[in-house]
Every structure is written in C-alpha cells, then in structure tokens.
A and B are shown apart, each in its own frame.
Chain A
C-alpha cells in the first residue's frame, strides 16, 4: 500500500500571500489530520477531517483552514502568510471509523516545508 503523500514537498512564499497544501491519505483511510511542526513550538495539531467534515480542531487562527474531498484527499490553506508560519506541515491519515478515533494509529506523510520570506 502506498503511504501518505504530500505535495509540494517544499514551498517558498512571501508575507501576505496564501498557500494551499495537498495530502493524499493511505487508500481506505477516511480521516486526515494536519499538524504544524516548528523548532520552537514542536508538533501542534491543526485540524482533523472525516467524510468531508472538520471533526476536531486545534488552537490556530482562522487563517488556517482545510477541506476534504469525497475521495478523502485533503487540502489545507493558509491565508495572509506571516513569517511565523514557516514550518513543516505534516498530514496524517487513519481509518477514522473506530469508536475511539483519537486512539487509532496515525500514519504521517513526509511533510511540506514552507518558508515565508
């Protein structure tokens, strides 16, 4: 089975621009979660999508948004980029259908490294 794929792998943007990142989950997985990883803040949960609906949410401002398509592929968008948005953005997928979703094994992609200048 192919793993989680993320595109693009690297991205350079300038302040004020917006960016869209893409994630394709493992085949059969219906839950997609997004994380931001920075040296200062570590790994922080952004949001989780299941069946095209945002099911869980972290503590990020509204500039960070996402969506999920009927094939479970997901995109996340960051508008009005700030320097502090420079980070590795990780996507993780899981089946999403168990009684305790948070306890399902999450499979991470390699991430998209975003640099904001």
Chain B
C-alpha cells in the first residue's frame, strides 16, 4: 500500500529546545524522503531530503535520519527559533509500474514558545 503516517500532529516546544517529528512509510521500494515546511498562506518549501542509501543528513540546525529496515524517518530541529513555527510535512516516493509520485504525511503543526 501507499501510506505515510506522521506523528505528532501538533508539537509545542520552548524556544531553544529541540523538536522531533517522526514518519513511517509502508512501501519498501520508497527511496526518497523529503521534508517540507509550510507557513501560513504559502506553499510547502523543501527544507531537507534524504535518499535510501544514506542513514543521516544534516543541514545546520536541521537533520533527518532514516531507518530503512524499520521503514521510518525523522526530522530533528535543534535550537528552535520562533521562525521555525509552521506546519511540517514528510513525504515518501512511490513508484508503481512507472507511475511516480510523492505520498505525504498528514503534517505536524510546530509551535515555538518564546
């Protein structure tokens, strides 16, 4: 099946603390896992992605880890700032008989408390 589950749906974190969002996917053939940030009134923006041949990737305060065996991947944001407040979506690539698409998680609303 094509399913991506994302938890938690809402997350409140004190400014300066870390935030972790987790996703699980069902298709063992998925190879690409992007994370998007969506601010109010805007479209999603890619913040980091990871491919199946890599276990971890970091970009400044943002990191993503991937466990292909367990079929789950996580987004880690350290030293959170007010501008990190947004809705975050994970996604997994699905390729089915040549038809390719991204399947998205249901989103996590992250609120940074000053």
Interface residues of A (CB under 8 A from B): 4, 42-45, 48, 56-58, 90, 92, 100-103, 105-111
* B residues contacting the other copy or chain, number (CB 8 A): 25
Question: In the complex, are the beta carbons of B46 and A103 less than 8 A apart?
Answer: no
The A-B contact count (CB < 8 A) is 55
Set A42, A102, A108: member contacting B45, Cβ < 8 A: A108
Between A and B, 27 residue pairs with Cβ closer than 8 Å are A4-B43, A42-B89, A42-B106, A43-B44, A43-B91, A45-B103, A48-B100, A56-B100, A57-B99, A57-B101, A58-B101, A90-B43, A90-B44, A100-B31, A100-B32, A101-B100, A102-B93, A102-B95, A102-B102, A103-B93, A105-B46, A106-B102, A108-B36, A108-B45, A110-B41, A110-B42, A110-B43
